[in-house]
Amino acid sequence: MVAALDDALLGADKVPAVVADVEALIDAEVADKKGASGLALKAGYAAVTKLGPSIVPSAVEGLLPEFVAKIQPFWQDYAGNGDFADYLTARSETVADALLGVTDARIAASSRTAIKKVYDKLRPSAQKHVVEALPRVGALVQKHAG
């Protein structure tokens, strides 16, 4: 097992594959959403991607180091015992709070009004969506670092 996630996920030779996998994860999570909140999420995601097709890839690449830093303590504690997706899911609220702290801070510092509006509409349900994504997040991390 790799001790530091930044070595496994943020190396120049690793970032393109990790970013592609994160984008695929986001697309899959959005596609899987159902009901009214799912429709809102899909509409918000479509609005963001319509504003610029490079927004999501750029955001993923820009936020990846901060997300990796937030996941690192969980990875260290996990220490290769079992499935990392299960480990994250068992701590879902804490992990989701840590990850959302990254996006909350980034949005607060953004000058892009349209993106802020979309984020503000989606933020109340974000905790639930992040929690639901943790199995895929755990699998992605373990794929690249385990």
* CA 34 centroid distance within chain: 19
How far is CA 69 from each of CA 6, 11, 59, rounded to the nearest angstrom? 8, 14, 16
What is the pTM (predicted TM-score) of this model?
A: 0.86
48-94 tens-digit pLDDT: 888 888 988 998 999 999 999 999 999 999 977 789 999 999 999 99
User: Structural domain tally of the chain?
Assistant: 1
Range of the domain at 104: 5-145
Task: Kindly report, residue by residue over 17-27, the tens digit of the pLDDT.
Answer: 999 999 999 99
Q: How far apart are CA 25 and CA 115, in angstroms?
A: 20
